[in-house]
Amino acid sequence: MSFQNPVFIPGPTNIPEHLRKACDMPTIDHRSPLFGQILHPAREGVRKVLKSDNAEVFIFPSTGTGGWETALTNTLSAGDKILAARNGMFSHRWIDMCQRHELNVEIVETQWGDGLPADRYEEILTADKSHEIKAVLATHNETATGVKSDIAAVRRALDAAGHPALLFVDGVSSIASMDFRFDEWGVDVAVTGSQKGFMLSAGLAIVGFSAKAMEATKTGSLPRTFFDVHDMAKGYANNAYPYTPAVGLLNGLNESCKMLLDEGLENVFARHTRIAEGVRAAVGAWGLDLCATSPDVYSDTVSAIRTPEGFNATDIVTHAADKYGVAFGVGLGEVAGKVFRIGHLGSLTDVMALSGIATAEMCMADLGLDIQLGSGVAAAQDYYRGHALASQKDAA
């Protein structure tokens, strides 16, 4: 694998040189006021990226999986009932975590490629007259299938049912890349990580808690130590952690938030949509289909591309790495061997995306698929030429 080529996996993503240097810093006393000058601005930056005025932001040395566990263990008790749809590998893994914590999960089995069934959620919540369901899980962007779901619709389902359940949202591959509205959507816990939209190495679990979720931490009795938000809050009050923090990554997160906010969140989201549309144009030119079943659920951060029946899509990923030194994502779970994934999030431009599209074309042609070299590249070029960002139009 070549370190000179950008990666096209849906995380970890490419790291801008500025952020790599921000993480490469001398050792400091992590219990000093100097650390507070890194910690508190990073938390405030995350809050702005979440589009929240009041979310309590906690940053753990972990990954998004640790963020899932933080949401569950701080607010729930063994035996609590959870509502969740399984529509991909990552929703499946969160459900598995719930079950390992002895939570009672009502699973809505959903086709891999479809978004979350908000209408079915509403039916189940409305029927739950005794409010046994304590939390609803929602994967905003299912990384395995390239599917985004309508979190606002899930909130409307809760409200229409008059149900007090907490709303937990996995935003690991959406937050900082796609529009996310913590306050407006009534999210109670949002989970993400450092290695995707924030353009850093893996190593930080980033979570936002609503006031309602913080209230639930007073009664939740699942075991927790490392992920205890109250211990973390006490540390924050003294410019510290209850244990050793990942200082370099936190400094990188602070700078990442500055980069995102300087670009403007709406511009960040528009850039991701634009790059994704170019990739989708290429897929159409190849005569292939996305795993996502309809345009309203197309992800702007990852495209899972179906290959013809009988062809092992994983061969494309292996061949790209071996021959061209380029990384794509393999299919996972039910779509293993049926799709390969192009990640198009984080630090990425249309020019970088074109290199990934060209490489995918070469791999498919090498492996005998009926792909015309240049077809996908040309389709993406046409899209990018005709859909410049507002900032680029101004510069021209």
The reply to whether 249 and 283 lie within a common domain is no
- Asked whether the predicted pLDDT for residue 107 surpasses 90, the reply is yes
Is residue 45 domain-resident?
yes
Last residue of a domain, one of 246, 262, 278: 262
The answer on 161 and 95 residing in a single domain is yes
Domain end point (choices 206, 227, 262): 262
**Reported confidence tier of residue 392, pLDDT bands at 50, 70, 90:** low
Does one domain contain both 50 and 128? yes
pLDDT at 161 exceeding the cut of 80: yes
Which domain does 94 fall in, by range? 17-262
- Whether 69 maps to a domain, the answer reads yes
Instruction: Output the pTM of the full model.
Output: 0.97
pLDDT of residue 159: 98
DSSP string for 202-236? S-EEEEEE-HHHHHHTTT--S--STT-HHHHHHHH
One domain, residues 167 and 297: no
Decide if pLDDT at 92 tops 70.
Answer: yes
User: pLDDT tier at 388 (50, 70, 90 boundaries)?
Assistant: confident
Structural domain count, the chain = 2
Residue type present at position 90: F
Question: Is 1 part of any domain?
Answer: no
Structure token digits, residue 252: 């990188």
The domain boundary, picked from 217, 247, 262, lies at 262
pLDDT digits 0-9 by tens, 274-332: 999 999 999 999 999 999 999 999 999 999 999 999 999 999 999 999 999 999 999 99
Nearest residue to 14 (alpha-carbon basis) of 238, 198, 143: 198
Is 47 annotated to bind ligand? Answer: no
Instruction: Calculate the average pLDDT of the chain.
Output: 97
For residue 359, what is the domain's CATH number? Answer: 3.90.1150.10
